[in-house]
Chains A and B, each alone.
Chain A
Amino acid sequence: MCLAIPSKIIEVNDSMGVIDVAGVRREASLLLIEEPQVGDWVIVHAGFAIQKIDDDAAQESLRYLREAAQLLVDDDDPGAAANG
């Protein structure tokens, strides 16, 4: 029931919105999130937007992940990093 893919809000009409899920348009209720705006990325579950995705946090954790993965490989086995 969970849609793991984030959707983009492309229209806001009161408490209803139109979202784009990987190219497909659907209606979603915006009742459960604060101040929905066109252009926000949201997680949608059972026809409701339930959270905005924080893009900065996403980029940051990705950076962290990449660094952590890289460092671990570098530390233990310098050769492995070159293969990746």
Chain B
Amino acid sequence: MTLQHQEEYRDPQLSRRLIDAIRRTSTRPINLMEVCGTHTMSIFRHGIRDVLPDTIRLLSGPGCPVCVTAQPEIDTFIAYARVDDAIVTTFGDLLRVPGTASSLQKEKAAGRDIRIVYSAFDALKIAQANPDRQVVFLGVGFETTAPTIAASVLSAREMNVTNFLVACAHKTVPTALEALMQSDQVQINGFLLPGHVSVILGLQAYRPFFDQYQVPSVVAGFEPADILEAVRRLVEQIEQGAPRLDNAYGRAVGEDGNPKARSVMATVFEPVDAVFRGIGTIPGSGLRIRPAFAAHDAAIQLPVQVPESREPAGCACGEILIGAKTPPECPLFRKACTPENPIGPCMVSSEGTCAAYYRFHH
């Protein structure tokens, strides 16, 4: 098996056909939203916005994990970094996110021990190698990332690595979709559902949402043909007035997702109300560590004082994350705010909408 199909999903001819089909079908102006940072990147990288007809507006939603992380959570992470002797481990894109008074990068420059890891497992290894120090892993991300961190917590317990702590700021996608539908700031006619969150959750997780809101929703993969096919299906559903919950990423997503990963996640985490940057509190939209795993919960094992949080002045990230504004509508975009000197998280993360506009949109 060569998995040659991966290449074929990039076939320009196939993409052109799909674009033709979309152009033929689309008659009314619609807003489609992608809620996955990897989709945002792929859409920009492949220039998909430019080839769609004017009737279709693609909005980037709250799909960048670092971007939706609320300011008080960022400030809490920074506070962990200031605990003497603690080691903070994190995925790279959190490093430069500005907190209220500092950033992890500034703390690192000031001598705090902050290490970028590729996986939560690497953080666990660091904890094993430093048994006399508390090692805090900063857990951000959606249902794709949460199981990997849950698995690391289970391994830590099994191996009795008691100094491995997780600062849990995970968010969940289906509840966020509901909040977006309830927002009166933006009208969404269809959703491109995230590919890899859906790998874990399966189509079933969106059924309650879909049954209630009846908004066209299609799971999409990441190659150009994947995204175009999902757009084509959304347009078709909208034009026909026949909304469906549909799957255009069948090679990786099934009805039931990955039950093993979901069970690992449910063993370690439970739902909690969470604050999304831009949206505010959404009931049951976050994950926290269950009391049975309190030994690995940084919130319990490592209490920190966090000064009152403030969002960066003038930053429109919040409105950008719900599709109510685009980056050029932010007065700081490309002026005070650039990838070299980011003011808000949407310019920091490679998955952030402002960063994507900066790089690809001229």
When the two chains form their complex, are residues B145 and A84 in contact, meaning their CB atoms are under 8 A apart?
Answer: no
> In the complex, what distance in Å separates the CA atom of A16 from the CA atom of B229?
35
When the two chains form their complex, are residues A69 and B21 in contact, meaning their CB atoms are under 8 A apart?
Answer: yes
Residues of A near B141 (CB, < 8 A) are 1, 46
When the two chains form their complex, are residues B120 and A46 in contact, meaning their CB atoms are under 8 A apart?
Answer: yes
Residues of B near A46 (CB, < 8 A) are 91, 118-120, 141, 144-145, 148
Known contacts A39-B1, A48-B119, A51-B199; decide if A72 and B258 are in contact (CB<8 Å): no
When the two chains form their complex, are residues B250 and A32 in contact, meaning their CB atoms are under 8 A apart?
Answer: no
For B18, give the chain A residue with the smallest CB separation: A69
When the two chains form their complex, are residues A4 and B14 in contact, meaning their CB atoms are under 8 A apart?
Answer: no
Kindly state whether residue B357 has any CB partner on chain A within 8 Å. no
Question: Considering the complex, which residues of chain B in the window 249-290 have a beta carbon less than 8 Å from any beta carbon of chain A?
Answer: 250-252, 258, 260-261, 264
> In the complex, what distance in Å separates the CA atom of A51 from the CA atom of B1?
17
Known contacts A48-B119, A50-B147, A69-B14; decide if A55 and B199 are in contact (CB<8 Å): no
Known contacts A29-B121, A43-B252, A59-B5; decide if A72 and B17 are in contact (CB<8 Å): yes
When the two chains form their complex, are residues A32 and B261 in contact, meaning their CB atoms are under 8 A apart?
Answer: yes
When the two chains form their complex, are residues B91 and A50 in contact, meaning their CB atoms are under 8 A apart?
Answer: no
Digitize B129-158: 1 where CB-to-A-CB distance is under 8 Å, 0 elsewhere.
Answer: 000000000000100110110010001000
Residues of B near A53 (CB, < 8 A) are 3, 251-252
Known contacts A33-B260, A45-B148, A72-B24; decide if A51 and B120 are in contact (CB<8 Å): no
When the two chains form their complex, are residues A29 and B148 in contact, meaning their CB atoms are under 8 A apart?
Answer: yes
Known contacts A43-B196, A51-B252; decide if A62 and B18 are in contact (CB<8 Å): no
Residues of A near B9 (CB, < 8 A) are 62
Residues of B near A57 (CB, < 8 A) are 250-251
Residues of B near A29 (CB, < 8 A) are 119, 121, 148, 151
> In the complex, what distance in Å separates the CA atom of A66 from the CA atom of B145?
33
What band does the interface of chain A fall in when counting residues whose beta carbon is under 8 Å from B?
Answer: 35 or more
Q: How far is the CB of A1 from chain B (nearest CB, A)?
A: 6
Digitize A63-84: 1 where CB-to-B-CB distance is under 8 Å, 0 elsewhere.
Answer: 0011011101100100010001
Residues of A near B67 (CB, < 8 A) are none
Known contacts A48-B147, A50-B258, A55-B1; decide if A31 and B251 are in contact (CB<8 Å): no
When the two chains form their complex, are residues A62 and B5 in contact, meaning their CB atoms are under 8 A apart?
Answer: yes
> In the complex, what distance in Å separates the CA atom of A81 from the CA atom of B299?
61
When the two chains form their complex, are residues A1 and B260 in contact, meaning their CB atoms are under 8 A apart?
Answer: no
What band does the interface of chain B fall in when counting residues whose beta carbon is under 8 Å from A?
Answer: 35 or more
Partner of A50, one of B37, B144, B225: B144
Residues of A near B36 (CB, < 8 A) are 2
Kindly state whether residue B212 has any CB partner on chain A within 8 Å. no
Kindly state whether residue B223 has any CB partner on chain A within 8 Å. yes
When the two chains form their complex, are residues A84 and B260 in contact, meaning their CB atoms are under 8 A apart?
Answer: no
In this complex, the member of A45, A54, A57, A66 whose beta carbon has the largest number of chain B beta carbons within 10 angstroms is: A45
When the two chains form their complex, are residues B258 and A32 in contact, meaning their CB atoms are under 8 A apart?
Answer: yes
For A56, give the chain B residue with the smallest CB separation: B251
When the two chains form their complex, are residues A65 and B3 in contact, meaning their CB atoms are under 8 A apart?
Answer: no
When the two chains form their complex, are residues A1 and B91 in contact, meaning their CB atoms are under 8 A apart?
Answer: yes
Residues of A near B225 (CB, < 8 A) are 65
> In the complex, what distance in Å separates the CA atom of A68 from the CA atom of B233?
11
When the two chains form their complex, are residues A4 and B155 in contact, meaning their CB atoms are under 8 A apart?
Answer: no
Digitize B21-42: 1 where CB-to-A-CB distance is under 8 Å, 0 elsewhere.
Answer: 1001000000000001110001
Residues of A near B191 (CB, < 8 A) are none
A-B contact pairs, 19 of them (CB 8 A): A1-B144, A5-B6, A32-B148, A32-B258, A45-B145, A46-B91, A48-B147, A50-B196, A50-B200, A51-B199, A51-B200, A55-B3, A55-B5, A58-B251, A61-B248, A69-B14, A76-B24, A84-B13, A84-B17
